[in-house]
A and B are shown apart, each in its own frame.
Chain A
Amino acid sequence: DTEVTQTPKHLVMGMTNKKSLKCEQHMGHRAMYWYKQKAKKPPELMFVYSYEKLSINESVPSRFSPECPNSSLLNLHLHALQPEDSALYLCASSPPDGLYEQYFGPGTRLTVT
């Protein structure tokens, strides 16, 4: 298995909903990342998990809550989002023996209504 998968592909949620995004990789990578990408912009880093521990939080609002249950799985729990949180959410992972390059999933297109 040589890819990062993300579910769902699309998500529409209201501002009072609670939802979760899921990311999975079975490549033995030990670092996983969440990014947010707005249209026509580069990805913005949100969180980094290294060996299943949260190592970087880029001052993300608490309505976004990451979780790394094991080395293959990364979740992003969403609660009380705002319309400006609508974006493409990308997950990535890095191998333990490379140049710290990141392999990205296809993303979840999130719309907050």
Chain B
Amino acid sequence: AQSVTQPDIHITVSEGASLELRCNYSYGATPYLFWYVQSPGQGLQLLLKYFSGDTLVQGIKGFEAEFKRSQSYFNLRKPSVHWSDAAEYFCAAGPGGYQKVTFGTGTKLQVIP
């Protein structure tokens, strides 16, 4: 069965520090992979997407993600966190096509001054 695991429920970082959010997936074949961010009471915003090609993917708002097939991870990174990055982050994986996408349980990011 397909699954997406975000092992960190909650992460706290200082403003200006680097960030890495972990995402492990379990899929029959390489899935289409996504990271979304959600502020309280809002919809989800797509940060980046990946299926093939360069394993370091650039997204919006200074985020990037590294795909590693051998370890089944798709980790999100940012070199320097801003207070406005505080939000819930969801990793997701799908089989392609307009099919059901599996979401991880989310990681809540807190940014302290």
Interface residues of A (CB under 8 A from B): 4, 6, 31, 40-43, 45, 48, 50, 55-56, 58, 88, 90, 92, 94, 98-107, 109
Contact = CB atoms under 8 A, between A and B. Distances in A.
Nearest to B46: A101
A53 to B, nearest CB: 10
B100 A43 contact: no
B105 interface: yes
Contacts of B105: 41-42
B35 to A, nearest CB: 10
A37 to B, nearest CB: 9
A43 B103 contact: yes
A31 B98 contact: yes
Given A56-B98, A104-B43, 5 more contacts: A42-B103, A42-B106, A99-B51, A101-B49, A103-B46
B79 interface: no
B41 A88 contact: yes
A101 B34 contact: yes
Given A100-B32, A104-B43, A104-B44, A42 B49 contact: no
A56 B106 CA distance: 24
B12 to A, nearest CB: 17
Contacts of B51: 99
B43 A56 contact: no
Contacts of A41: 105-106
B100 A56 contact: yes
Contacts of B14: none
A103 B44 CA distance: 8
Closest 5 CB pairs of A and B: A42-B103, A31-B98, A104-B43, A104-B44, A50-B98
B32 A99 contact: yes
Contacts of B36: 104
